[in-house]
Amino acid sequence: MLLWTAAAAPPLLKAAPKAPQSKVTLDVKDADVRDVLQSLKAQCAVKNMIIDKEVPASSATFYLRDVPCETAFTVVFHTFSLAAAPIENSVLRVSPSR
């Protein structure tokens, strides 16, 4: 099983329909992990994302302006200690890193 952690971009992100130079902006204070992931999903053209029920409720503050999607995912996944694994062709499963 392929896992993505903060070290590399999720495989689905690399194959997303938007151009590789897609940029994301996050300007949030004490934002819930699920809200942050939903924002990244929308801005980075990730079509299908499952957030595992084991992802703990937590929040963080981010100020990222016009950064590549890959960088934003790396920062967010590292901050919340998350990992991602592709399921089939177009589904990304997000879970706590182990």
pLDDT in tens, 48-68: 999 999 999 999 999 999 999
- 21 belongs to a structural domain: no
- 36 belongs to a structural domain: yes
> What CA–CA distance (Å, rounded) separates 22 from 67?
8
- 51 belongs to a structural domain: yes
Burial 50-81 (b: 16+ CB within 10 A, else e): ebeeebeeeebebebeeebbbebbbbbbeebe
> What CA–CA distance (Å, rounded) separates 47 from 42?
8
Number of domains in the chain: 1
Span 68-79, pLDDT tens digits: 999 999 999 999
Q: Which CATH number fits the domain that encloses residue 68?
A: 3.55.50.30
Range of the structural domain that residue 33 is part of = 1-10+29-98
- 81 belongs to a structural domain: yes
pLDDT for 18 beyond 70: no
- 33 belongs to a structural domain: yes
pLDDT for 33 beyond 70: yes
- 62 belongs to a structural domain: yes
